[in-house]
Each structure stands twice: as C-alpha cells, then as structure tokens.
Amino acid sequence: MNVYQTLTPAVLLSSILITACSSDETPTTDATPTSTELVAQSPAATDKPLQILYDFDGKLDATVKSAWAEITQISEADGQSLKVDFLSQEHGYSGITFSPSQPWDWSDYESFSLSMDLANDGEQSTQVYLNIKDGKGNVATRSVVVPRGGFSTYYAKLAGHDIETAGDDDATELNFSSGLRSNPPTWSGEDTHFIWMWGVKSLDVSQITEISLSVQGAVSNKTISIDNVRLTPNPELDEEFLVGIVDEFGQNAKYDYADKIDSLEELHQVRDAELAELDGKAMADRSKFSGWKSGPKLEATGYFRTEKVDGKWALVDPEGYLYFATGLDIIRLSNSTTMTGYDYDQDKINQRDENDLTPEDSIGMLKVSDEAKKTRFVASKTRADMFSWLPEMDGELANHYSYRRAAHSGPLEHGETFSFYQANLERKYGEESPNSFLDKWEDVTKKRMLNWGFTSLGNWTDPRFYSNEQIPFFANGWIIGDFKKVSSGNDFWGPLPDVFDPMFAERANVTAMQVAAEVQNTPWCVGVFIDNEMSFGRSESDQLHYGIVINTLGRDASTVPTKAQFSQLMKAKYESIKAFNQAWNLKLADWAEFDSGFTPGEITEAQRVDYADMLEHYATQYYRVVHDAVQEHLPNHLYLGSRLPDWGMPIEVVRAAAKYADVVSYNVYKEGLNKKKWEFLAEIDKPSIIGEFHMGAMDRGLYHPGLIHAEDQDDRAQMYLRYMDTVIENPYFVGAHWFQYMDSPLTGRAHDGENYNVGFVDVTDTPYPEMVEAAKELGRDLYDERYGDE
C-alpha cells in the first residue's frame, strides 16, 4: 500500500512521514515545491544562489519510491533538512522525486549548476544517482558517492563550460566532446561535481519538469540528508582544464596522490619491492587446476564440467575437485590505448576486411606504415593538448603507438593511439632487452593471479596466456560478419544479428573454429564466452522489452528472415487474419499486409503474450546456433553464453540461454546481487556466472570512478568483498570476474572513452594494495565459504 503525505516543517523536533512504498511501482502525485526567487543576476557577477529551489523550511510536496522521508532539524542555527531512508536492501530502485506544479524555466541563466548539500547518515558510503528531466522527456543522469559524515556541497552543471559543447539535445551521449566519459572539473574548488553517466547533457532548461535522487543496485539500506537545493552560477572557466593533464607515465599531471610514480628510479623501486615478495604460489588448499583440493573428489573427466552438489551448482575441475571461478577480465593490451588527437591519410591505412573475426577494439596494437606516418596531422587539438609528453615518432618508446580504424564513441571516428601502460611495461621489465618486457609481464601477471588468490584468468585474456599450465582461463569469441541485422531500437553496442539468416550460422561456425584453434583443446580452458552485452531488450517499458519484435514487425518478411519466422508463428497460432486482428486490436487487410510490415498499436494482453513468444523464439535460435558451433569445434569445453547485461536480460532471453548454454552468464554492475531480483534463478535452475562487475574511486587521479562508485581505495576493497559475498552465498552462481586488470587510460580508452579507476593495477602496472589484500582475504576463505559446512 502506498501512502503520500505533504511534508511540513518539524514541530518540536518531531518528523512527518512522507511515504513508504512496499512495491516497485512508480508513484504519482501533485507536487508544489517551495521555490524562492532571488534577484536574477549575471552568473559571473555573484557567487550567491541564483534561485533556491528547496530549503526544507516550508511546505513541500514530493514523491518517494521504496523509501521513507522526514524533515529533521539540523540545528537551531542551520534550520532543517530532508532525511531520506532508502529501502535499497529489498528494492533495486529507491528514490525521491521533486516536481514543480509548472516546469521550472532557467533559460535566463547562461552558465549555472544545480547544487545541493548532502550528508551521509549511514554506515557505508552511498552512491546517489541524480536525474534531471526536461519537458521533451530528455533525461540527464549523473552520479556521486557521498562519504560517511556531515554535509558537503555537490553540483551538476546544466549550462556553460563543457556543457555548451554537447551534441543534439535529443541525442543520448556517453562522452564529452573531449572524448572522456567524465571531464576534470572546469574550475578549482572544494565542492564535488556529480559524475556524468549517460543521457542528454544539453537539456532544455526552459522547461525542467523533474529532479530525482535515487539509490540503485545496493544490497543494504542507505540514509542521506538533503539541504539547500539551489541553482548556483558557475565560477570562471579554467581555459586550460584539459591542457597538460597527462604526465610521461600516463598519470594525472595536475593531481598528487598516494603511490604516484615521479621518476623511472621510483618505478623500478616499486617493481623490485613487489617482485621480492611475488613467489607465484597458489593458496594451500588449491588443486592443480585451482579447485578445492581439501574438498570432496567427484568424477574426473579431464576437462571442466558442471554438477549440482548438495543443492549448489558447481564447476568441477579436470581432476574432479570442486571449482569456483574468480579472476580479472581484460588481461591484455588491446584496451590500454588512448586517442592522441593525431591522424593519418586514410588512403595510407590498411582498412578492415569484411572477413575479419575480431572487433577493432580487440585487435591489439595495430602498426601503420612509414608512408602513413609522413601524413600525420592534428585531428583534434583538444586531445593533442592533453598530453604533456608523447614520444617522438622515431624515438624511444615510439613502438607503443598504434592505430584505431574505428571507434564506438569519442572525439574521433579513427586515429592514432598510444599506450602508456604498455610503455610503462617496457620501462619496468625491458631493461635487459626491449623485446622481452611482454614475456616478463606475462610471467608477473600469472604469479600475481596465483598469489592474490584468484582461480582463473577472466574474459578477454590475451591468447598468449592460453598455453600456460599454471592457472585456468576463459576463452572468448565474437560473431561478426556480413549477415543481415535486426534492431531492438536501442542497440547500445550495435545492431543484433538476424539469427535466421544462414550467413549467421556460417559466421558462428567460423568464430568457433578460430577459438578452437587458439584453445588447442587444452584442459586449462574452463569454457568459452561468445559475444557480449547484446541489446536483447530493456526492462523500463514494453516498447524497450520487446523492441526486437516490434521493430522487426515493421519490416518486410521477404527480405528479413526473422520477420518471416514471426509471420509463421502468428499464422500458425491464429490461422485467420480476423482472429489475429481481434487479439491485437488491429485492422490489417490480410496476412500480406502483415508480411510487408506494419506498426503495432497499443499493446493488448494477447499481444504481450505473443511478443514474449516471438522474443524467446528469436533468442532460442541465437543460442541454438552458437551452441551447435561451439559443440562442433570445442566439444570438451563449456559454452558460457553471451554475458547478458543487467540492463538487458529479458526473462524470455534468459530462458532461451538456459536451454543451450552450459552456464548462463551475466554482467552485473551493482553493489551486489539483490536476492529478490535473482529469485528467477530457481525457475531457470542452471549454473550462472558473473562476467563483469567493478567499483572505482576518485582518489588516484582518474576523472571517473566507473559504474559503481566507492569513497576511496579502502572502500573499494570492502565493496569488492561485499559483492563477492552475495555471489558466493547464491547457490546458482559458480563464479564472478572483476572488470578489469588495469585502470582505463586517464584520457579514455580509444574504443569509447571509458576513463575509469577500475583496475587492480594502475597505468604504471603498480598494484593497488587495498584491492590485493581484499583478493587474498577472499581467496583464503573462498572454498570453505562456498562449499564448506554451513
């Protein structure tokens, strides 16, 4: 039951309950917020608020979802604030929304931010999402971590500075025009800026309809106090906020922090100290294949397999020991490059071939010819000016230049790249021979994984590690090619395959054959992931959930094999177009009109059932085709699915995956696994694995913490342990891999601008001691926690 009340000032320090929502339904109510207009002045002329939206000292209407809220007294001098208890332990979304009776018009202000004071009254740091919505329905999503403690000021720029260079006001944007997911602050100050996440930067500030604060994906309840929600003028822009931000080691040149490397000598000292302790020994209870040597011994098949043991799904290693997969993704150099701002004549670049099996961002270091280098020019001065140092084209460390022929998003569609991480590997490990540093890096990496307590090398591990016989690994492949495509209408990484096109099966077969050639039937390979985070559908609405079906119904069955399949399904079910029209509330003349393409109307209940059937039919064909290809070429290895993202895992697709995948994989960027959300695993009853998750912080010089925010490195380590606890205690999960081994480049990875602090090592290949200790703590107790006596 949902109850909504108007907040009033506290009387005798008592509090008024705003609402408690026991469901995840979105509440609606009329809202009349307090809005005190001050004299409008030029933002540059005053540092006073331009407008006070909420000071919580007067009448307030607001709506909450899965939360409690109350007005509380801060002190006699400081007045009142709004305290919100987010019931996030039980609810994936918990939030409060402020909506004016008439849209706010802030168009008179040229350069300003939405600011507020936040305090964390809870026991853990809290990541707060800020959504701002305009009258066109555009939403800008930002996020910030609020540390435990008293009030501090947080702001989100809405106009001016780097917001002015945003794209179309109806285009979803990941990056700033700089190519970074999050820019450095555009002025110096003590206040904290909300980190850009996604949405539309250039909102129509003449009609702002909604401001919401929420906690999402947490596994414990959170408490935040809010005060002084206001508009503030932006200080003067630092014209060089993007100039010279990268030092010679790829670190932040403008920010000092613990463990920052200041010289080559210091880099070597840190290296020597680590190597002196790195013996490459695994945990004492580990089998040859990192299974649980102290546990029961089951049937040994010589390869990894799955089995349900005492009500818990498990992997079983080649010798028959229980096995639980932990480890790191991206143990490769392909994603360590960043765009330099330079480019070459495209006629001098060897372009991609339509028969390529590897996506551009997975290819690794791509060299260009000397003829191409002669055509080098500045394609983005903004990017080129970020670097205080880059090697001469024919100088020392120039071998770490590369080229990216295509990018998913960012400042340039293609261009020159440089890998500071790889250059630092040569600085660290190439003293004896410049050509030996990668072999040394490989050896150090294997020793780290064993010493740190991990049981495997995660997805996107460089195939150079596949021949190792010290630690198991997970292989991967991509199905790309000139087959027909369909669309969900929200294709984040790209369109989806038309899985009924015979060419798709051909390319799946070629991909599996290539992976098999890399794996060489070794028992050290646990299994293979194929593809990643496909846009099968989103949960926010029926239109997004069934986007593949809806968009495909609008196409011609004679040229779109998936549409032809949908047509066959509906004809078999309804037989007559009259019966179909009645169920769907349509007026199609005949089946020929259905086949040629049409736009479905408002969704009926019968229609929703049919949408679900068609979506599952599509997904079943996808997983059947891929399974068959893997089974033919890698019969001894597990097929691990397609790594469904938590934002795109319709239950129909999960069911389809469970029919054919040996283990169903999910990428889950949350603070942990919410028990309520994952109850469906009991119905599926298949072993599952987490393919990606991470947490990041802002205390090591990077400008974006990642998708899940931590207060600092200590907090990041504790959040890692809490996340893994939720995986280990779930009887359906057989492992989880952290994304990723090394931090993103400070200026963003070349593929899409991600500039996250999510590594176990930084750009100088120096481990984060907090993360290493957390991994060791996890590893020591891993098997007892998972398979030991309750």
What are residue 638's DSSP bridge partners? 527
- 496: CB partners within 8 A, 6+ apart: 485, 486, 487, 488, 534, 535, 536, 548
Q: What is the pLDDT of residues 85-101, one digit of tens each?
A: 999 999 999 999 999 99
What's the whole-number mean pLDDT along residues 336-354? 94
pLDDT at 634: 98
- What span, in angstroms and rounded, lies between the C-alpha atoms of 728 and 735? 8
The residue among 474, 513, 471 whose CA lies nearest residue 638 is: 474
Q: Report d(CA 257, CA 660) in Å as an integer.
A: 49
DSSP 268: H
Over range 149-174, report the average pLDDT.
78
* Pairing between β-strand 93-98 and β-strand 112-120 as defined by DSSP bridges: unpaired
Instruction: Point out which residues pair with 633 in neighbouring strands.
Output: none
Long-range contact set of residues 243-246: C-beta below 8 Å, sequence gap at least 24: 243/385, 243/386, 244/385, 244/386, 244/387, 244/388, 245/184, 245/386, 245/388, 245/746, 245/747, 246/386, 246/387, 246/388, 246/389, 246/420, 246/746, 246/747
Strands 485-486, 496-497: pairing is antiparallel
Query: Taking the model in full, what pTM does it have?
Result: 0.93
Question: Would you state the torsion angle of the CA atoms of residues 624, 625, 626, 631, taken in this order, to the nearest 10 degrees?
Answer: 80
Q: Which two tokens stand for residue 679?
A: 């109850």
Q: Hey, what are 210's tokens?
A: 């909604």
Which residues partner with 704 through β-bridges? Answer: 756
- Closest by CA position to 625, among listed 603, 656, 665, 649: 656
Q: How far apart are CA 786 and CA 611, in angstroms?
A: 39
Look at residue 547 in the predicted model and tell me its pLDDT.
Answer: 96
Residue 562's alpha-carbon distances to 213, 412, 510, 545, 750, in angstroms, are 41, 34, 22, 17, 34
- Tens-place pLDDT, residues 726-743: 999 999 999 999 999 999
Separation of alpha carbons 781 and 283, rounded Å: 10
Three-state DSSP at 267 gives helix
Among 308, 359, 439, which residue's Cα sits nearest to residue 734? Answer: 308
394/340 Cα distance (integer angstroms): 16
Least confident among 42-56, 205-219, 684-698: 42-56
Task: Report the alpha-carbon distance of residue 676 to residue 219 in Å, rounded.
Answer: 10
CB 128 within 8 Å of CB 226: no
Reference 534, options 571, 488, 576; nearest CA is 488
- In degrees and rounded to multiples of 5, residue 341 shows phi and psi of 95, 0
Which pLDDT belongs to residue 172? 56
Position 361 scores a pLDDT of 87
- Token couple for 709: 């925010």
Higher local confidence (pLDDT), 477 or 174: 477
Alpha carbon distances (Å) from 269 to 266, 272, 320, 393: 5, 5, 43, 29
Placement of tokens 């309804």 in the chain: 574
Cβ atoms 746, 252 nearer than 8 A: yes
For residue 512, give the H/E element and its range. helix 502-519
pLDDT tier, 228 (very low <50, low <70, confident <90, very high otherwise): very high
Confidence class for position 47, pLDDT limits 50, 70, 90 = low
So what's the pLDDT on residue 149? 96
Any idea which residue has 């931590």 for tokens? 710
Q: What band does 24 get if pLDDT is binned at 50, 70 and 90?
A: very low
Residue 78 reports pLDDT greater than 50? yes
588 burial (CB, 10 Å; 0-12 / 13-18 / 19+) is middle
HSE-up of residue 388 (Cα within 13 Å, Cβ side): 13
In this structure, the number of other CB atoms found within 10 A of the CB of residue 696 comes to 25
CA 457 to each of CA 289, 316, 395, 768: distance values in angstroms, whole numbers, following the listed order: 12, 16, 34, 18
DSSP letter at 574 equals H
pLDDT of 254 higher than 60: yes
The label of the residue with tokens 């000016």 reads 385
As a whole number of Å, the end-to-end CA separation of the chain is 37
* CA separation for the pair 199, 294 (Å, rounded): 50
Whole-angstrom Cα Rg for the chain: 27
Residue 717 has pLDDT above 90, yes or no: yes
The two structure tokens encoding residue 620:
């079943």
Mean pLDDT lowest among 235-249, 350-364, 438-452, 639-653: 350-364
553-565 as b/e: b if 16+ CB within 10 A: bebebeebbbbbb
Q: What is the pLDDT of residue 216?
A: 97
Contacts of residue 439, defined as CB under 8 A and 6 or more positions apart, other chains included, come to: none
Judge whether 550 and 543 are in contact, CB under 8 Å. Answer: yes
**Banded model confidence at residue 432, pLDDT cuts 50, 70, 90:** confident
φ and ψ at residue 697, rounded to 5 degrees: -135, 180
Instruction: Quick: pLDDT tens for 455-465.
Output: 999 999 999 99
Checking if the pLDDT of 485 tops 60, the result is yes
User: Tokens in use for 189?
Assistant: 């100050």
Q: Band of the pLDDT at 164, cuts 50, 70, 90?
A: low
Kindly report, residue by residue over 591-640, the tens digit of the pLDDT.
999 999 999 988 999 999 999 999 999 999 999 999 999 999 999 999 99
Average pLDDT value for the chain: 91
d(CA 89, CA 86): 8
